[in-house]
């Protein structure tokens, strides 16, 4: 069965510092991969997606993610974090029939 693991439940980062959120998946076929962000009290917004091709994908709000097949990973990065990036981040894998399997999420706190 497919699964998505986000090893870090909570990350605290200083404003202006870099951020990396980890995501590992277990899936038998070539996956579709997504990162979503959820601000407090809001729904989920798509940050970026990987379907095929270039393994480094760019998203909105200055985020990027790199697909590494050998490590079954799809880590999210941002070079310089802003206070508005404080949110919960979810990695998801497309598992066929258009369904998504989500990780448990990583909460990011940004300190001044």
Partner 1 sequence: NAGVTQTPKFQVLKTGQSMTLQCAQDMNHNSMYWYRQDPGMGLRLIYYSASEGTTDKGEVPNGYNVSRLNKREFSLRLESAAPSQTSVYFCASSGLAGVAKNIQYFGAGTRLSVL
Please give the residue ranges that form the binding site for partner 1 (CB under 8 A).
Answer: 4, 9, 32, 34, 36, 42-46, 49, 51-52, 90, 94, 97-100, 102-105
- CA–CA separation, 63 vs 47, rounded Å? 7
CA distances from 5 to 21, 73, 102, 105 (A): 11, 9, 8, 9
Q: Please state the closest distance from residue 26 (CB atom) to partner 1, in A.
A: 15
Q: Please state the closest distance from residue 103 (CB atom) to partner 1, in A.
A: 5
Q: What is the DSSP letter of 30?
A: P
Residue among 28 and 43 whose Cβ is closer to partner 1: 43
- CA–CA separation, 65 vs 20, rounded Å? 9
Residue among 66 and 102 whose Cβ is closer to partner 1: 102
Q: Please state the closest distance from residue 82 (CB atom) to partner 1, in A.
A: 23
């Amino acid at each position: 069965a497919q699964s998505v693991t986000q090893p870090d439940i909570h990350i605290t980062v200083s404003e202006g510092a870099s951020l990396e959120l980890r995501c590992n998946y277990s899936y038998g076929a070539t996956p579709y991969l997504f990162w979503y962000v959820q601000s407090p009290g809001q729904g989920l917004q798509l940050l970026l997606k990987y379907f095929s091709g270039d393994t480094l994908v760019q998203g909105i709000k200055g985020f990027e993610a790199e697909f590494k097949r050998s490590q079954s990973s799809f880590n999210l990065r941002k070079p310089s974090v802003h206070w508005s990036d404080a949110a919960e981040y979810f990695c998801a894998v497309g598992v066929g029939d258009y369904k998504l399997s989500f990780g448990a999420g990583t909460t990011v706190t940004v300190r001044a």
